[in-house]
């Protein structure tokens, strides 16, 4: 399953690495790709994980969904 979330405050490669490292701690997440210019986070999962589960994680990191 693939999902896309757009988040605010992604400003540099350090932001991208922070998000990737945290999301990849979730066992359901296989891959995370992020576009710096747009704040687009593309997530590939091996199971059904909802956007509602991921939004609080992004908010806690300081990257609230748009």
Give dist(CA 39, CA 59) in Å, integer: 14
CA angle 38, 43, 44 (to 5 degrees): 145
Provide the b/e sequence for 54-66 (b: ≥16 CB within 10 Å): beeebeebebeee
Q: How far apart are CA 56 and CA 50, in angstroms?
A: 11
Q: What is the pLDDT of residue 47?
A: 80
pLDDT per position as a tens digit, 1-34: 999 999 999 999 999 999 999 999 999 999 999 9
pLDDT of residue 35 exceeding 90, the answer is yes
The residue-averaged pLDDT of 44-63 equals 93
CATH of 2-61, one of 3.30.70.100, 2.120.10.30, 3.20.20.70, 3.90.1580.10: 3.30.70.100
Residue 48's pLDDT is: 78
Strand boundaries in the chain, DSSP class E: 2-6, 29-35, 40-45
Would you list the domain boundaries of the chain? Answer: 2-61
pLDDT given for residue 21 in this prediction: 98
pTM greater than the 0.85 cutoff: yes
């Amino acid at each position: 399953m693939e999902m896309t979330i757009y988040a605010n405050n992604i400003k540099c490669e350090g932001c991208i690495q922070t998000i990737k490292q945290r999301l990849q701690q979730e066992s359901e997440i296989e891959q995370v790709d992020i576009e710096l210019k747009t704040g687009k986070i593309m997530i590939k999962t091996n199971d059904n994980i909802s956007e509602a589960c991921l939004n609080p994680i992004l908010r806690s990191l300081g990257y609230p969904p748009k």
